[in-house]
Amino acid sequence: MKLGDYVGPELVKVGLEDREPKELLSGLVELAARAGRVSDPASVLSLLLERERAHPTALGSGVAVPHALCAELHEALVVVGVAPGGARFGAEDDGPVHLFFLLLSPPGRSTEHIKLLARIARLARDARFRSSLRSSRSPQEVVDAIRAFETHHL
């Protein structure tokens, strides 16, 4: 399973600015909606906010993986957000979050969901991977960086 198979440039936002977590998540969900992948953004946002209240998804090292199982989906999707200046998102290390990996999956695909979470966590541990994404200037550069890293380093 490769993360690059789930991410396309239409699902990437470069240049996220520091806003409240709800606004950040809303922007990422809206990106998925504009790409035709989510039909009820308000419902998806509600699921994500509920998940954040229960268990915050900031991993530390400048990475957050907000995620939820969404009944409206037929397949998993990953939206990537890059905040070059960092954003407040409740990280345990109290540091800014620079990379957001929003993962949404249908309820019947929880095994795939867990595998994608593990894949993201594994990639995000590598400082070279994080750096390559943070320095990307366009959605296509982010996608290319993810795919290149998976090809050459894993």
Rounded Cα distance, 133 and 77, in Å? 18
Respond yes or no: is residue 113 known to be catalytic: no
Q: Nearest 5°: phi and psi at 13?
A: -125, 120
Angle at CA of residue 23, ends 105 and 17, nearest 5°:
110
Q: Catalytic one among 55, 67, 113, 153? A: 67
**What is the distance between the alpha carbons of residues 45 and 34, in angstroms, rounded to a whole number?**
14
Is residue 32 within 8 A of residue 79, CB to CB? The reply is yes
The residues assigned a catalytic role are: 67
